[in-house]
Amino acid sequence: MRALHDVPAPAKLNLFLHVLGRRADGLHLLQSAFMLIDWYDTLHFEHRADGHLSREDLTVALPDDDLVLRAARALQAATGTPAGAHIGVHKRIPAQAGMGGGSSDAATTLLALNRLWQLGLTLGELERIGLALGADVPFFLRGRNAWVEGVGERITPLDLPFARFAVVKPAHGLDTGRIFGDPLLKRNSDPAIISGFAANPYRFGTNDLQPVAERLCPGVIQALQWLASQDLRGRMTGSGSAVFVPLPGELRLRQAPAEWQVRECSNMEAHPLAGWAPSDDSSVGG
């Protein structure tokens, strides 16, 4: 096997996001429900026998040390493989949107190179590598919609009803660190339970980061107002500037400002790469 082309990396939405507290090391304790949607980046992998790693940006320019290359290097370091790869990245998921695009790309890289390099690592082994790259990477590796707790390491699979969503990314993004570092961020939400969420999954809870985000990025308010003008009550996803709302019936959205990214998406039961690594009983968070 010398190449893998058109390998998908899907986005996710946080259906709610509650901040329960903060650990002594500064990391926040969260509760959320992560849902996969059919908004994808696409990656291409070609084997390099010289052990080098290279990346080609097929759409937007990415940072020199992005999560794709970091994931590939981490896999090399963990296994000692002499293999290398050239990776093409067709980026569609917007950056700083709260949709997990970078973490999804990292997870897809780990799964694809594990297969391309014929390493045979289990899902649990890949998750331990992925967790060091970012808290959302294990979720994308597991490949199922999930109830997520702790700092992102406690993952419980969820079954969610099929639905369509409007996802709106305004012109400007948001830096995660600015939101979580804000002194006005609410950090004392009460713990929720899965049964309460399951009764109304697409209207449950709030995003505790949203008030801070609205203050830091007026585009968040503008996107929510644009949805409200169509009788749609949206909310922010994750810690970026994108907002979303379930779409009723066959409603079609009005024309949005040209500098925004707006898509109608559907949720998915499973990641397209589910099963690419053998499962075991040692996955992160059990």
Domain 164-266 sits in CATH at 3.30.70.890
Burial of 184 (0-12, 13-18, 19+ CB in 10 A): exposed
Give the pLDDT confidence score for residue 281 in this predicted structure. 62
Give the pLDDT confidence score for residue 1 in this predicted structure. 65
pTM (two decimals): 0.95
Coil, strand or helix: which one is 11?
strand
Greatest pairwise CA separation for the chain in angstroms: 57
- Residue spans of the domains in the chain: they are 3-157, 164-266
C-alpha span between 90 and 263 (Å, rounded): 17
Give the pLDDT confidence score for residue 252 in this predicted structure. 87
Q: Residue 116: name the closest of 85, 148, 150, 78 by CA.
A: 85
HSE, side-chain direction, 13 A CA sphere, residue 16: 21
C-alpha span between 213 and 27 (Å, rounded): 18
Residue among 105, 136, 169, 208 flagged as catalytic? 136
* 136 annotated active-site: yes
Q: State which fold the 3-157 domain adopts.
A: Ribosomal Protein S5; domain 2 (3.30.230)
Residue among 12, 41, 66, 169 flagged as catalytic? 12
Query: Is there a contact between 45 and 113 (Cβ–Cβ < 8 Å)?
Result: yes
**What single-letter amino acid sits at 93?**
I
Query: Is there a contact between 75 and 119 (Cβ–Cβ < 8 Å)?
Result: yes
Query: Is there a contact between 136 and 152 (Cβ–Cβ < 8 Å)?
Result: yes
C-alpha span between 19 and 208 (Å, rounded): 6
**What single-letter amino acid sits at 180?**
F
Give the pLDDT confidence score for residue 283 in this predicted structure. 54
Spans in the chain with pLDDT lower than 70: 1, 281-286
Phi, psi at 134, each rounded to 5°: 175, 150
* 38 annotated active-site: no
Question: What beta strand segments (E) does 23-77 contain?
Answer: 28-48, 53-57
**What single-letter amino acid sits at 63?**
P
Give the pLDDT confidence score for residue 267 in this predicted structure. 98
Average pLDDT over all residues of the chain:
95
Structure-block tokens of residue 88: 């093409």
